[in-house]
């Protein structure tokens, strides 16, 4: 028997996959909260005119007595990579596109969320980074979401690195 191997999943792309780390850490934290959840990575979603890539999908049967809709988490995860610390000078656009969550990322996930919500799911949007904090630009983008009645799940290194999600907040 001759075995053949191929790259697939998170590491299937030929580009450097530093973004796989925040995806895996986010999935690990979500799995600790939702033990029976089904986890999926790197999905290209197409439905009608909507086309979007999501870094992760977490599916769980909701067991709340007040709402039994299935729960779905879709997310965009970024590694800070070579992103410089924010200073008074602006970060070049090419770095922002690679390492920051942009308006287009948010818009596409919101469209998917709306579609899933209309289909009977309870959908949440997650944004994660292995940086210690989101950039000021990202924070401004996230502040627009509650105006659309969307409460995003935000993970930074403070939430995804420790074993327990809020471990670093015990002393604060």
Which residues are within 8 A (CB) of 88 and not within 5 positions of it... i.e. 6 or more apart? none
What is residue 43's predicted lDDT score, i.e. its pLDDT? 83
Res 138: pLDDT: 94
Low-confidence stretches of the chain (pLDDT beneath 50) = 84, 86-88
The CA distance from 77 to 98, in Å, is 11
Rounded Cα distance, 72 and 74, in Å = 6
Position 61 scores a pLDDT of 84
Res 147: pLDDT: 94
Where do the H-state alpha helices sit in 40-155?
93-99, 103-118, 136-144
């Amino acid at each position: 028997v001759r075995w053949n191997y191929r790259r697939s999943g998170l590491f299937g792309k030929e580009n450097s996959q530093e973004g796989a780390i925040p995806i895996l850490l986010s999935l690990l934290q979500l799995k600790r909260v939702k033990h029976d959840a089904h986890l999926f990575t790197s999905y290209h979603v197409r439905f009608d005119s909507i086309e979007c890539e999501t870094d992760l999908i977490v599916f769980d049967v909701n067991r709340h007595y007040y709402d039994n809709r299935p729960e779905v988490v879709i997310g965009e995860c970024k590694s800070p990579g070579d992103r410089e610390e924010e200073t008074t000078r602006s970060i070049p656009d090419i770095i922002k596109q690679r390492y920051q969550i942009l308006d287009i990322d948010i818009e596409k996930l919101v469209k998917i969320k709306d579609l899933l919500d209309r289909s009977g799911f309870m959908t949440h949007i997650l944004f994660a980074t292995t940086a210690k904090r989101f950039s000021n630009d990202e924070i401004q983008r996230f502040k627009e979401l509650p105006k659309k009645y969307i409460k995003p799940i935000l993970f930074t290194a403070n939430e995804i690195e420790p074993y327990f999600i809020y471990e670093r907040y015990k002393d604060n």
